[in-house]
Amino acid sequence: MIDHIWTVACSRAVIDSASNNVSLESVIEQITIMAEPAPDAMLPMPLDVMTLWARSDPNIPSKGRMRLTFVSPSGKGHGHKELDVDLTTVEHYRTLIRFSGLPLSEPGRHIFRVELQEDPERGWQPVAAVPLITNFVERLPGEAELNKDQQT
């Protein structure tokens, strides 16, 4: 059996080759976009989503498959990515999915839905829902006052 330990969205995940430890730079929980929402809008922002998996029993090798889906607040799934989770020779396993941009056409709580399939007959099992809050604003708070001061 496989346990999902964590999933984190960040601007960049870096794995140190000497220690095999990971550094997660600028964990992303919320995005503010200075524009109006637009249908089929794509935010050209690189983003890494890293997951950590572990054997439920350290002595029993396991293998499965993970699936990551980006879901909008209205429930629309924006494709998915699948990767193997191979714990046959190691006790912990990380997966890294890189996005060059995100489809962000509405404000609210987007979700990175993480699912695991250990047995194809059982299908996909949800293991995590990592939120990404998206705000659309015409200008940042305080910007109107700043612009007014600059005009005088």
| pLDDT tens digits for range 51-90 | 999 999 999 999 999 999 999 999 988 889 999 999 999 9
Q: Which residues pair with 51 in a beta bridge?
A: 7, 95
- pLDDT for residue 145 is more than 70: no
Exposure string over 2-25, b if 16+ CB within 10 A, otherwise e: bebeebbbbeebeeeeeeeeeebe
Pairing type for strands 2-15 and 22-27 reads antiparallel
Domain limits of the chain? 2-151
- The pLDDT value recorded for residue 61 is 96
Q: Which residues pair with 113 in a beta bridge?
A: 69, 129
Any idea which architecture 2-151 has in CATH? Sandwich (2.60)
**What pLDDT, in 10s, does the model give residues 14-26?**
988 899 889 999 9
**The pTM is what?**
0.84
**What pLDDT, in 10s, does the model give residues 24-42?**
999 999 999 988 888 888 8
H/E segment holding residue 147:
helix 143-151
**What pLDDT, in 10s, does the model give residues 112-136?**
999 999 988 889 999 999 999 999 9
